[in-house]
Structure 1
Amino acid sequence: MKWSIFKGILVGGLATMALLPLQAQNDSVAPTVRERRWDQRTHLRYEGWERLKPTHLKWQYAGGMGLNSVGIGWDYGRRCQWETDFLVGFLPSKYAEKFRLTFTVKQNYIPWSICFKEHWMAEPFYCGLYLTTIAGEEFWKKEPGRYPNKYYNFSTKMRPYLFVGQRFGFSPRHELVRHISLFYELSTCELYLISKVTNKSLSMRDILRLSFGVKVQLFKERH
């Protein structure tokens, strides 16, 4: 899919994000009721050790965390607007000198979720950051002594990323699964941003990376 299409989708999401508060202001319903009319997320609060149970599963393709990544996550906040994920990915040997594992910690902020009728929902804009590390002794956090001082001013083992994205999902009304969402993200890391600042010939297309995946929201265990 062409870059112009993704740019159009992203601009449309940002426009939707800007219009939602204006629509709420024109509504005569009380603020708490206004919010719930289109945002029906509810945080399922666990007690005690149950808080360690993951609230969702994720699979992601690309994004600087391996070719494919799978993991678990936890949502929190009154409207589930915060998510923390832990993912394990892999990079096949055809994309590197040998098979590699990656490990990623990801923080998401999802300010809005719009419900359509009973089974469909959209999250027109969300953002966050993640930190990815790759397994292998040849990658380092600090510059090895064999190189001149400050020859490499960055870590080859860990990479921080920023991202924005959108999600679209539905509720299958299953006893175990609460929602299934499809998402895509545009991300970049600090090396790409530095390259953009120091090399004006680079375009946004050169420093942005596209990834997509699936999120499965789980039901709270019934007693």
Structure 2
Amino acid sequence: MKWSIFKLLLAGGMAGMTLLPLCAQNDSIAPAVKERRWDKREHLRYDERWERLKPTHLKWQYAGGMGLNSVGVGWDYGRRCQWETDCQVGFLPAKYAEKFRLTFTVKQNYIPWSICFKEHWMAEPFYCGLYITTIAGDEFWKKEPGRYPNKYYNFSTKMRPYIFVGQRFGFSPHHDLVRHVSLFYELSTCELYLISKATNKSLSMRDILRLSFGVKVQLFRDE
């Protein structure tokens, strides 16, 4: 992972923050029904409440502390679909551990804005969130086993909380099922890395940050 990627991420976020007020100033629609011409996100209109349980998107992610590869479904919600909740299942091949492992992740994303270019292209220059990952296996624990001295291990080996920032870029195809397809990358770190950084000044940001990337497929084009 290159440190320049982290600088690029920050620059993209600042650029998006600069565009936000400029676009808002050109919006002449009343505040109660305010629409952003540069932000085309909107909710699907379901006829039945139970239909809201249907996932709104699919995701595939490489790395990120949730296995070598992970796939899952998610739901977006909020006034501008700025919130997302994902549930993903991943795997870690035996060559990266003593044996094949499954991982399970619950992920919460916050996407403050989306910028559309022309008709089919869009960018989310900055988003952030957190997720919790757990790994299958009896040898991992949530609480310290009694065979170890008290507070010998001050962290769980089974569950790991992460925070992250990222960017997404996508396009909208002419398809009834798929609303748009986005490519994304994220920089993440967990509490164990942050504690190590605080107690060991020799560690650099490269040592505690992890790069991941993936694909999001937004489903069910609204008619």
Identify the TM-score tier after normalising by the shorter chain: over 0.9
- Identify the residue that residue 3 of structure 1 maps to in structure 2: 3
* Paired position in structure 2 for 1:212: 213
Post-superposition offset of 1:205: 0.9
The whole-number CA distance in structure 2 between the counterparts of 1:14 and 1:27 is 21
- Work out the CA distance in 2 between the residues paired with 1:77 and 1:173: 25
Q: Deviations over 1:143-169 (max 9, x none)?
A: 000000110010000000000000000
Q: Which runs of 5+ in 1 are unaligned?
A: none
Which residue number corresponds to residue 18 of structure 1? 17
Matching residue of 2:190: 189
CA distance in 1, matches of 2:162, 2:30: 35
Per-residue Cα deviation, 1:152-189 (whole angstroms, up to 9, x for no partner): 01000000000000000000121110000000000000
2:26 matched residue in structure 1: 27
1:119 and 1:160 map into 2 onto residues whose CA distance is 35
Stretches (4+) displaced over 2 A: 24-35
Q: What is the rounded CA distance, in whole Å, between the counterparts of 2:202 and 2:110 in structure 1?
A: 32
CA distance in 2 between partners of 1:59 and 1:138 (Å):
28
Q: What residue number does 1:86 align with?
A: 87
Task: Assess, with a 3 A threshold, how the Cα gap between structure 1 residues 143 and 75 changes in structure 2: closer, same or farther.
Answer: same
Aligned to 2:99: 98
Q: Would the aligned equivalents of 1:24 and 1:35 in 2 still touch at CA under 8 Å?
A: no
CA distance in 1, matches of 2:105, 2:205: 24
The answer to whether residue 7 in structure 2 is matched with residue 42 in structure 1 is: no
Alignment check: 8 A CA contact 2:67 2:103 kept: yes
- Matches of 1:17 and 1:28, distance apart in 2: 17
The structure-2 alpha-carbon separation of the partners of 1:143 and 1:31, relative to structure 1 and needing over 3 Å to count, comes to: farther
**Secondary structure of 1:7 counterpart:** helix
For residue 38 of structure 1, give the secondary structure of its aligned residue in structure 2.
coil
Residue correspondences, number: 221
Asked whether the 8 Å contact 2:76–2:85 carries over to 1, the reply is yes
Alignment of 1:75-154 (within 5 A): 75-154=76-155
The yes-or-no answer on 1:52 pairing with 2:63 is no
Aligned partner letter, 2:20: P
TM-superposed deviation, 1:7:
2.4
Shift of 1:11: 2.3
